[in-house]
């Protein structure tokens, strides 16, 4: 099992690769959720609802997410949801979103379960452009890492449908700062 320290180390490595030039924010750039606290369990309703998979026991309702104190000069955000323990050794990308305008400061519960004009939809492991909740088997919980990156790219700069890896390449040298939040889940 990958520990919380490994997940956070991965997020720090992402920032190191993408760079953090002069991140000057009023306060600390943060990502939070009224739906769950960092490191705590996601609600069953946040789990996936693919009826062909017995591990998908939820309603696929995306949790509410909020952020504050972006670095000066932020032109857009990118937001990812990733399960490093899913499908070893590559993990599962549950959501890839980018081109989020700097005026957006969060998403309401259920808002990103479907595509929205508030973000450009990438391509998850499940081949979806929107949120796809956990379908974790019973046993040890998986860690779902939500990573928010403030970028110097205009919201329309990147094409639709990029995978997580393609997005990382496109963001190289354009990330001003990153922050994260971890929710856990396993089949009850």
Give residue 26's pLDDT band: very low, low, confident or very high (50, 70, 90): low
The encoded tokens of residue 14 equal: 């992402």
Token pair 């452009």 is found at: 129
Task: Look up the pTM and report it.
Answer: 0.86
Q: Is the peptide bond before 89 cis (omega within 30 degrees of 0)?
A: yes
User: Closest by alpha carbon to 136, among 53, 37, 76, 59?
Assistant: 53
d(CA 11, CA 147): 7
Q: Is 43 helix (H, G, I), strand (E, B) or coil?
A: coil
**pLDDT > 90: percent of the chain:** 86
pLDDT in tens, 86-106: 999 999 999 999 999 999 999
Work out the burial of residue 20: count CB atoms within 10 Å of its CB; fewer than 13 is exposed, 13-18 middle, 19 or more buried.
middle
Reported as a single tens digit per residue, the pLDDT across 48-100 is 999 999 999 999 999 999 999 999 999 999 999 999 999 999 999 999 999 99
């Amino acid at each position: 099992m990958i520990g919380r320290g490994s997940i956070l180390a991965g997020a720090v490595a992402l920032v190191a690769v993408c760079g953090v030039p002069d991140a000057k924010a009023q306060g600390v750039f943060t990502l939070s959720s009224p739906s769950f606290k960092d490191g705590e369990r996601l609600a069953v309703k946040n789990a996936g609802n693919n009826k062909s998979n017995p591990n998908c026991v939820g309603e696929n309702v995306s949790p509410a997410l909020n952020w504050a104190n972006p670095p000066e000069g932020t032109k857009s955000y990118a937001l990812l949801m990733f399960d490093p323990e899913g499908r070893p050794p590559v993990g599962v990308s549950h959501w890839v979103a980018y081109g989020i305008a700097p005026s957006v400061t969060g998403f309401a519960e259920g808002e990103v379960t479907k595509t929205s004009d508030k973000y450009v939809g990438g391509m998850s492991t499940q081949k979806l452009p929107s949120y796809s909740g956990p379908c974790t088997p019973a046993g040890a919980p998986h860690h779902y890492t939500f990573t928010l990156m403030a970028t110097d790219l205009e919201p329309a700069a990147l094409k639709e449908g990029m995978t997580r890896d393609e997005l990382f390449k496109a963001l190289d040298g354009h990330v001003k700062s990153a922050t994260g939040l971890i929710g856990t889940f396993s089949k009850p």
